[in-house]
């Protein structure tokens, strides 16, 4: 959800024993790579009926569902859970939104500075901090091949936050009858069936929107969060195998299922592969964790920086590879600054299990 560094929280997995930071980094880079194609008006690669960037987002949701709902199960305190989630998501989001409005906007907008700041759309962009998406700023990127969109990546954060509410609610509903795991499984099947129906079989003529977000976009990624939660609830880690994951991915590639069948197959293959690789210790995973978890920063800053590259260098307007190459170094720098100056310092205030929300601890464990 939505995003090495050690984090407080609730996972029993220490940062040395898994590769989740590495997999999140890979997912974030997939999103950046995938966005380069629509931003340069090119047709991007796809797999199982999904764009590359969609696959990256779904990997994030699987990992979030697995780690975060595992965290909730070990410490089902609404206050501590909410504080942890807000400290993980809101600080980085707030800074990127403020930088976009106060620095990027006036520098890039075709409007005079005074007119830019007097436009109401400039200030309503701040609603992104409250997870109500607005993608445009006055006069910004209007002449780019993908016009008007300043940060198209922000669409997934309301969906992620919604799952932070829905997941615990489903868990608590099941706890009333001591059927937490089975309630989660039923909810997962229901949400997955709804996603297949409304996105693949009978899409509505008008896209339903709630609080500025497309409900169809929500349905596209939400099942993956609950699938990750099911893996945690039923302790399915013992069935994961990197070799099996690779084989399943190859088979899905070769078979090339059409339509809704491809998405159903992806419900099985993508979570299995993401968690199998994430739970597998590796030297690369340790190196990435030691450097810092910059995946969230890559996700937040990638889209606007790619649009900036196109605005500054018109020669990159039709070449996605050049766009990615020109974006990558400054993007890693921004993401590193976001992690070390914004995200990581505030994560020190994440409450440990059994603490009151106003306290904090210095015990570091992995969490999403």
Render pLDDT for 302-322 as a digit per residue (tens, 0 to 9): 999 999 999 999 888 999 999
Distance, in Å, from the CA atom of 28 to the CA atom of 21, rounded to the nearest integer, reads 11
Question: Is residue 292's pLDDT more than 80?
Answer: yes
Evaluate whether 126 touches 96 at the Cβ level (below 8 Å).
Answer: no
Average pLDDT, the chain: 91
- Give kind and range of the element (H or E) at residue 50: strand 50-51
Among the ranges given (12-21, 29-38, 99-108, 207-216), the one the predictor scored with the smallest mean pLDDT: 12-21
H-assigned helices in the chain? 20-39, 52-74, 78-99, 105-108, 113-118, 120-124, 156-175, 180-195, 215-233, 242-255, 259-279, 283-291, 295-312, 320-338, 344-347
Question: Is residue 8's pLDDT more than 90?
Answer: no
pLDDT of residue 177: 58
User: What value, to the nearest 5°, has the Cα angle with vertex 160 and ends 78 and 238?
Assistant: 80
pLDDT over 90, % of the chain: 84
Altogether, the residues listed in the chain come to a count of 368
pLDDT in tens, 193-245: 999 999 999 999 999 999 999 999 999 999 999 999 999 999 999 999 999 99
pLDDT of residue 73: 87
Exposure letters 72-88 (e unless 16+ CB within 10 A, then b) = bbebebeebbebbbebb
Q: How far is CA 239 from CA 162, 244, 275, in A?
A: 29, 10, 11
Distance, in Å, from the CA atom of 242 to the CA atom of 273, rounded to the nearest integer, reads 7
pTM above 0.85, yes or no: yes
Distance, in Å, from the CA atom of 189 to the CA atom of 36, rounded to the nearest integer, reads 33
Distance, in Å, from the CA atom of 46 to the CA atom of 37, rounded to the nearest integer, reads 11
Question: Is residue 362's pLDDT more than 60?
Answer: no
């Amino acid at each position: 959800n939505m995003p090495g560094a050690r984090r407080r929280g609730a996972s029993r997995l220490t940062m040395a024993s898994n590769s989740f930071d590495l997999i999140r980094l890979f997912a974030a880079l997939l999103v950046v790579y995938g966005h380069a194609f629509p931003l340069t008006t090119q047709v991007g690669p796809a797999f199982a009926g999904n764009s590359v960037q969609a696959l990256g987002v779904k990997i994030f949701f699987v990992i979030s569902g697995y780690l975060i709902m595992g965290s909730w199960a070990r410490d089902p305190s609404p206050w501590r859970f909410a504080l942890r989630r807000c400290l993980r998501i809101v600080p980085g989001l707030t800074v990127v939104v403020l930088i976009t409005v106060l620095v990027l906007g006036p520098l890039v907008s075709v409007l005079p500075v005074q007119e830019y700041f007097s436009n109401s759309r400039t200030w309503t962009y701040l609603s992104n901090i409250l997870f109500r998406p607005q993608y445009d700023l006055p006069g910004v990127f209007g002449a780019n091949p993908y016009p008007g969109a300043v940060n198209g990546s922000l669409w997934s954060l309301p969906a992620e936050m919604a799952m932070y509410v829905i997941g615990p609610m489903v868990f608590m509903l099941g706890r009333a009858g001591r059927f937490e795991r089975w309630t989660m499984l039923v909810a997962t099947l229901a949400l997955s069936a709804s996603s297949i129906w409304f996105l693949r079989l009978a899409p509505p003529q008008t896209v339903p929107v709630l609080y500025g977000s497309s409900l169809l976009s929500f349905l596209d990624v939400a099942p993956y969060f609950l699938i990750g939660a099911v893996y945690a609830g039923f302790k399915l880690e013992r069935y994961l195998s990197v070799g099996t994951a690779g084989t399943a991915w190859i088979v899905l590639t070769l078979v090339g299922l059409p339509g809704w069948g491809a998405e159903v197959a992806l419900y099985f293959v993508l979570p299995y592969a993401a968690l199998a690789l994430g739970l597998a210790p590796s030297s690369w995973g340790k190196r990435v964790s030691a450097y810092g978890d910059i995946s969230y920063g890559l996700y937040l800053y990638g889209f606007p920086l790619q649009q900036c590259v196109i605005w500054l260098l018109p020669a990159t307007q039709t070449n996605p590879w050049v766009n990615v190459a020109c974006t990558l170094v400054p993007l890693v720098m921004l993401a590193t600054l976001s992690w070390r100056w914004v995200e990581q310092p505030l994560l020190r205030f994440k409450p440990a299990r059994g603490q009151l929300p106003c306290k904090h601890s210095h015990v570091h464990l992995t969490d999403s």
